[in-house]
Amino acid sequence: MNSQYYIDLANKYSAHNYHPLDVVIERGKGVWVYDVDGKKYLDCLAAYSAVNQGHGHPAIMAAVVAQMERIPLTSRAFRNDQMGPFLQELCDLTGYEMALPMNTGAEAVETAVKAARKWGYKVKKVARDQAEIIVCDGNFHGRTTTIVGFS
């Protein structure tokens, strides 16, 4: 099967809320990704920087496999033995007192909006429901109802 097959299949069954490039990636190694037609591409996008460590780095793969063998995921409803040490290392690295990990960029933007509004109301004494958020035009902030209009 070639790229056109997968493109047609996705176009038929996927909601058209996104306009991806007509390149069908099947695997990656290091800084390179390969499509189903055998073409090789330098991955300058890195999944919008979500995988900027490259693809298939042996040390990262070993760490992922080791964690998956222990437990792949815990809800934040429970504590786990990885969060505290991770947050400590992150705070030591950044110089901040606390950190709030997020799953997505959209969550991070939503949380930043909430924090900015709270700061505006509590610290700057902005009148209730009068806070305004300024964003960069043409940037991508996420796809939630609140922030989709920012982009």
- Chunked into runs of 10 residues, the chain (151 residues) has average pLDDT values of 97 91 96 97 84 89 96 93 97 97 89 93 95 85 84 72
Residue 149 phi, psi dihedral angles, 5° rounding = -75, -15
Residue 137, classed as helix, strand or coil, is coil
| Whether residues 114 and 141 fall in one domain | yes
| Whether residues 65 and 85 fall in one domain | no
Number of domains in the chain: 3
| Whether residues 59 and 95 fall in one domain | no
> In this predicted structure, what is the pLDDT of residue 81?
96
CATH number, domain at 64?
3.90.1150.10
> In this predicted structure, what is the pLDDT of residue 107?
92
> In this predicted structure, what is the pLDDT of residue 137?
81
| Whether residues 81 and 62 fall in one domain | no
Range of the domain at 127: 105-150
Q: Are 55 and 29 in contact (CB under 8 A)?
A: yes
| Whether residues 65 and 86 fall in one domain | no
> In this predicted structure, what is the pLDDT of residue 122?
96
| Whether residues 127 and 88 fall in one domain | no
> In this predicted structure, what is the pLDDT of residue 90?
97
| Whether residues 117 and 138 fall in one domain | yes
| Whether residues 84 and 50 fall in one domain | no
> In this predicted structure, what is the pLDDT of residue 105?
86
> In this predicted structure, what is the pLDDT of residue 53?
87
> In this predicted structure, what is the pLDDT of residue 104?
86
